[in-house]
Amino acid sequence: MNTDHAKRVTKKLGCGLLLALLMIVLGAMLGYAIGGGNPWAVFDPETWQHIFDFLK
């Protein structure tokens, strides 16, 4: 396998994963804002603890 091809594929996968993560974070922030909350609360560890406790 050509190493240039492998590097291009790896770079495209990395960019895709980074873009997906960014969209998830922005979507969570938008969801909090539409729900009337503080969009920055997405980054609060207590928020995630509450979510995990709710899912148990």
Domain boundaries along the sequence of the chain: 3-55
Other Cβ atoms within 10 Å of 41 Cβ, number: 13
Give the tokens for residue 21.
């993560």
What does each of the 56 residues of the chain score in pLDDT, given as a tens digit?
678 999 999 999 999 999 999 999 999 899 989 988 889 988 899 988 988 999 98
The per-residue pLDDT for 13 is 97
The per-residue pLDDT for 2 is 76
- Express the helix, strand and coil content of the chain in percent, nearest 5 each: 85, 0, 15
The per-residue pLDDT for 49 is 93
The per-residue pLDDT for 1 is 60
**If DSSP codes are grouped into helix, strand and coil, which group holds residue 37?**
coil
Give the tokens for residue 6.
């492998």
The per-residue pLDDT for 7 is 93
